Structure 1
Amino acid sequence: MKKILREWLPSLLIAVVVSLFLKAYVAEAMAVPTESMVPTIHVHDRIIVEKITGSESLKVEDIVVFYPPDPSVEHKRYVKRLIGLPGDTIQIREGTLYRNGEKITERYTKEPMRYDFGPVTVPRDKYFFLGDNRNESFDSHLWVTPFVEKDKIIGKVIWQIPVHKIVK
């Protein structure tokens, strides 16, 4: 038994260190706890979050995991769609999203928004996020500070495993 332990212990330790490194800095699997991203992502669906590329590589419409600016939930991870990059002006009027004055057609939302918001201009090094289930999402349109700082971004969702389809 001691011989087996001596032979395998270094390999096991390396495996643990590598897996911790990968989770902390490369990619991480997560379960989605709310309905804020329905119909794109459902409750209990699993996502893989890529953490290597920085916030500079984010594009509008990416799905991103981050820590929100609201002090009551600042330690929770949120999954939302990136709507506004630094310098963008965002407005919601009569159920429609406008970015930089241009009407945006969104194919991924659950239903039209039942609220108006803005206009606001996203400051440098900050981002504006909304859930796809806009009327049921605690996101930028409801936060006192509607912008997420770039150092609060965890990563971009690169893969989704739709567990809700398996459970049905």
Structure 2
Amino acid sequence: MRSESEIGAARRWRAPTRTVWKQSTDLQAVRFVYAPKNCEAIVLRQTASTSPQEGGARPNGLLRFLRDIVVIFLAALLISFLIKTFLIRSFYIPSGSMETTLQIDDRVIVNELVPDVVDLHRGDVVVFEDPGGWLPDSLPTPSPTGIERALEFVGLRPHDSNNHLIKRVIGLPGDTVACCNDFGQMTVNGVPLEEPYTNLTPEEPASRDPFEVTVPEGSIWVMGDNRNNSQDSRYNQGTPSRGFVPMSDVVGRAFVISWPYTRWSWLDNYPSVFDGVERREQ
């Protein structure tokens, strides 16, 4: 016979419990805790997300991925548009007036901070709008497609270059530009220029037609590197601008040839050519 103290101790004893995980139809894990005979079973409920054997699958993962792709694409378009509007712009070269520095169908990148934020310098290659009467009436060109317009809008397609020209800055406001001295050289403020960027032979003068001008305030004097085949400031003195280009018409400074890749190079403004030329303010 057991004593009452032994019986009480047996009742207080509990065997180790065993846990079994089951999946219920309501996506909740049911945990049954078994106790010895004559002891009540304890049932605990736990959400599936905390079950140690559940993989933690992420619903709508594909939608989140597509959303991220769209956000990245739109952000890239916005950045490209802002860069094209305020910083740089692409143009193609339609003529040979800047040969051999630039060839027909070259693509150039233009810094639009010039001249509003960054000053122009003599020797800079600039893109500018026609001041009026410089360009002949052009033949109608096919209208760009919707895709081409979109690419141009965000700066991924070169501007059509209609109504734009590209030349090299020779004279700044207040400069006196003249050609030619006894050696066939062009002078700026009386300083003769050695111009390595032109396609002239050593025997040819810097300009076939003599001229002497003083650049007015707010304008520049420009010439093509292909001196004998360039409708530049020299040959537009009869237009309303008198051959000068207003600063307000300057789109920016071309600083690199971006295409074709075989011609990729920086565009030099040859500062040494203009060493010794003093700035004259009117």
Query: Normalising TM by the smaller chain, what interval?
Result: 0.7 to 0.9
Structure 2 counterpart of 1:108, one-letter code: Y
| CA-atom RMSD in angstroms | 2.4
1:5-25 C-alpha deviation (Å, 9 max, x unpaired): 433323222221211111121
* 2:112 alignment partner AA: K
Question: Does the 8 A contact of 2:134 with 2:231 survive in 1?
Answer: no
Shift of 1:35: 0.4
- Which of structures 1 and 2 has the bigger CA Rg? 2
Gaps of 5+ in 2: 1-61, 137-161, 264-282
Q: TM-score, normalised by structure 2?
A: 0.53
Distance 1:114 1:86 in 2: 21
2:220 alignment partner, SS class: strand
State how far apart, in whole Å, the 1-side matches of 2:105 and 2:114 are.
26
Which runs of at least 4 in structure 1 moved beyond 4 Å after TM superposition?
1-5
Residue 123 of structure 2 is aligned to residue 61 of structure 1: yes
The separation in 1 between residues aligned to 2:193 and 2:88, in whole angstroms, is 31
User: 209, 212, 222: which one pairs with 1:116?
Assistant: 209
Counterpart amino acid of residue 152 in structure 1: D
Structural mapping, 1:94-133, within 5 Å = 95-111=184-200, 112=204, 113-133=206-226
Secondary structure in 1 matching 2:98: coil
SS, match of residue 142 in structure 1: helix
- Would the alpha carbon gap of residues 114 and 130 (structure 1) be closer, same or farther in structure 2, given more than 3 Å must change? closer
Q: Paired residue for 1:134?
A: 227
- Tell me if 1:81 matches 2:81: no
The partner residue of 1:70 within 97, 112, 132 is 132
1:46 matched to 2:126: no
Gaps of 5+ in 1: none
Query: For the Cα contact (< 8 Å) 1:42–1:164, is it kept in 2?
Result: no
For residues 85-143 of structure 1, the C-alpha deviation after alignment (integer angstroms, 9 at most, x for no partner) is 00001112274312112221111111134522421100001001000001111110111
Q: TM-score, normalised by structure 1?
A: 0.85
Change in CA separation of 1:136 and 1:72 when aligned onto 2, cut-off 3 Å: closer
Match status 1:148 vs 2:245: yes
Q: Residues of 1 paired with 2:91 and 2:134: CA distance? A: 21
Question: Would you say how many aligned residue pairs link Structure 1 and Structure 2?
Answer: 166
Q: In 2, Cα distance between the equivalents of 1:150 and 1:58?
A: 9
What do residues 29-71 of structure 1 show as CA deviations (whole Å, max 9, x unaligned)? 2221110011111111221111124256111111111113233
Deviations along 1:119-168, one digit per CA (max 9) or x if unpaired, are 110000100100000111111011122111111111111112463967xx
Aligned residue among 125, 149, 157 for 2:254 = 157
